[in-house]
């Protein structure tokens, strides 16, 4: 793990010196070419991704049993690339035409049974309110008093996804948030209903067909296991993107957009094959500074941010020690220390 460039208290003092810092000030320092869409690069990434997913499924078909886990890992990671292409479509950074983004976004997310429009709307809400306490909808820590009010089952579930079972967190997020179109209004409700019914219809045809032709084991082998690998990466990426023991969630009155997007987002280096298959989704800081930057321009934008705003940039390397630190410490909201661990919280309860 590489060191962060600045301590959180230094970030606060810097912000006090520059109270007028705005997101547009950061955007103006980026090269104009990072915002340009390149049709050839965009569609080449789709073609390569489809071929790699096909290669993954071929490896599942022909692999002996002891090699199947490797085939699942490769295929599930390549399917994560499908999601990332859909992710760019949701931000309208893939194509200039909205209908192209919507069509491709639905196609890429169909095999994952992910409703495109509900994810798009909720995810854009996360970008608007990144690390804003009680508002952000992505991996926000529970307040201690709210956690204490939960029943035993819900407490256990929260402890699991904030601990060693973090990798199932995005499955809960997917299931709980993305299939209820009644939480939306107007045109958005109609869009979400369409996406939900589309993926349910796809699943109602694809899953029985898969089971009828390959059996229950075929369903597990060809869909469930790669899908679980995909959710491992989804959970890991989204947790690491905004979580560390000194990254604060701020109440709305104290929240600053520029600081949240720049210093509250994390760049994490993964094995290069993962970054390739997942279209550099790990290069996350420029994506939060501006969602209009296409995936193939994120590295150029990141270099520019390091040159101009390096004191704010956080970089880590993916490792078990990183995940252990996050899952050991980053549990409950603490206004002074950013996070309080379950262990410390329960120790205080015992002492009282």
Judged against a pLDDT cut of 90, whether residue 11 lies above it is answered with: no
pLDDT for 19: 52
User: Using one digit for the tens of pLDDT, what is the confidence trace for 92-111?
Assistant: 999 999 999 999 999 999 99
pLDDT for 158: 96
- Distance in angstroms (rounded) separating the CA atoms of residues 332 and 314: 22
- Distance in angstroms (rounded) separating the CA atoms of residues 205 and 201: 6
pLDDT for 269: 97
Judged against a pLDDT cut of 70, whether residue 208 lies above it is answered with: yes
Judged against a pLDDT cut of 90, whether residue 277 lies above it is answered with: yes
- The DSSP string of 240-301 is HHH--TT---B-GGG--HHHHHHHSS-EEE--HHHHHHTTTTT--HHHHH-TTS-GGGHHHH
The predicted model gives 32-47 an average pLDDT of 97
The pLDDT > 90 percentage for the chain reads 89
pLDDT for 350: 74
Judged against a pLDDT cut of 90, whether residue 229 lies above it is answered with: yes
The end-to-end CA distance of the chain, in Å, is: 37
Distances (CA, A) of 332 to 266, 267, 320, 335, 347: 19, 23, 21, 10, 14
pLDDT for 177: 93
Q: Would you list the domain boundaries of the chain?
A: 8-351
Position of tokens 């905004």?
Answer: 242
The predicted model gives 133-162 an average pLDDT of 94
CB atoms within 10 A of CB 149: 11
DSSP 165: T
> Could you tell me the pLDDT band of residue 300, with boundaries at 50, 70 and 90?
very high
Judged against a pLDDT cut of 50, whether residue 15 lies above it is answered with: no
Distances (CA, A) of 203 to 18, 74, 196: 52, 23, 11
Secondary structure of 52-70 in HEC code, one letter for each residue = HHHHHHHHHHHCCHHHHHH
pLDDT for 139: 87
pLDDT for 21: 78
> Could you tell me the pLDDT band of residue 301, with boundaries at 50, 70 and 90?
very high
Q: What is the mean pLDDT of the chain?
A: 92
- Distance in angstroms (rounded) separating the CA atoms of residues 218 and 220: 5
Contact predicate 127/291, CB 8 Å: yes
Report the interhelical angle of 116-128 vs 68-90 (nearest 10°): 70
Judged against a pLDDT cut of 80, whether residue 349 lies above it is answered with: no
Average the pLDDT over each of 13-17, 79-83, 110-114 and give the range with the smallest value. 13-17
| Residues in Cβ contact with 300 at an 8 Å cutoff, skipping those fewer than 6 apart | 31, 33, 34
User: Using one digit for the tens of pLDDT, what is the confidence trace for 161-187?
Assistant: 999 999 999 999 999 999 999 999 999
> Could you tell me the pLDDT band of residue 352, with boundaries at 50, 70 and 90?
low
The pLDDT > 70 percentage for the chain reads 94
Tokens read off for 46: 């789709």
> Could you tell me the pLDDT band of residue 3, with boundaries at 50, 70 and 90?
very low
Judged against a pLDDT cut of 60, whether residue 5 lies above it is answered with: no
């Amino acid at each position: 793990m590489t060191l962060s460039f600045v301590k959180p208290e230094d970030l606060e003092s810097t912000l006090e010196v520059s109270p007028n810092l705005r997101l547009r000030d950061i955007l103006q320092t980026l090269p104009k070419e990072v915002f340009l869409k390149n049709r050839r690069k965009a569609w080449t990434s789709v073609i390569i991704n489809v071929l790699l997913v096909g290669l993954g499924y071929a490896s599942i078909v022909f692999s002996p049993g002891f090699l199947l886990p490797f085939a699942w890992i490769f295929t599930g990671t390549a399917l994560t690339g499908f999601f990332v292409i859909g992710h760019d479509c949701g931000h309208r950074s893939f194509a200039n035409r909205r209908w192209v983004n919507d069509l491709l976004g639905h196609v890429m997310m169909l095999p994952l049974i992910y409703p495109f429009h509900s994810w798009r709307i909720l995810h854009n809400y996360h970008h608007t309110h990144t690390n804003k306490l009680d508002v952000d909808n992505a991996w926000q820590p529970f307040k201690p008093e709210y956690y204490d009010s939960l029943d035993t089952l819900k407490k256990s579930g929260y402890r699991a996804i904030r601990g060693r079972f973090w990798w199932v967190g995005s499955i809960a997020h997917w299931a709980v948030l993305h299939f209820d179109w009644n939480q939306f209004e107007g045109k958005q409700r109609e869009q979400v209903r369409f996406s939900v019914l589309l993926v349910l219809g796809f699943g109602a045809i694809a899953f029985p067909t898969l089971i009828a032709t390959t059996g229950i084991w075929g369903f597990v082998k060809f869909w469930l296991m790669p899908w679980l690998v995909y959710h491992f990466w989804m959970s890991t990426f989204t947790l690491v993107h905004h979580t560390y023991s000194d990254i604060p969630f701020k109440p709305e009155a104290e929240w600053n957009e520029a600081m949240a997007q720049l210093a509250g987002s994390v760049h994490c280096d993964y094995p290069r094959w993962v970054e390739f298959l997942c279209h550099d989704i790990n290069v996350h800081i420029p994506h939060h500074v501006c969602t209009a930057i296409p995936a193939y321009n994120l590295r150029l934008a990141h270099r520019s941010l390091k040159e101009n705003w390096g004191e704010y940039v956080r970089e880590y390397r993916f490792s078990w020690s990183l995940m252990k630190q996050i899952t050991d410490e980053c549990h409950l909201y603490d206004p002074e220390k950013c996070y309080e661990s379950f262990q410390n919280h329960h120790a205080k309860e015992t002492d009282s």
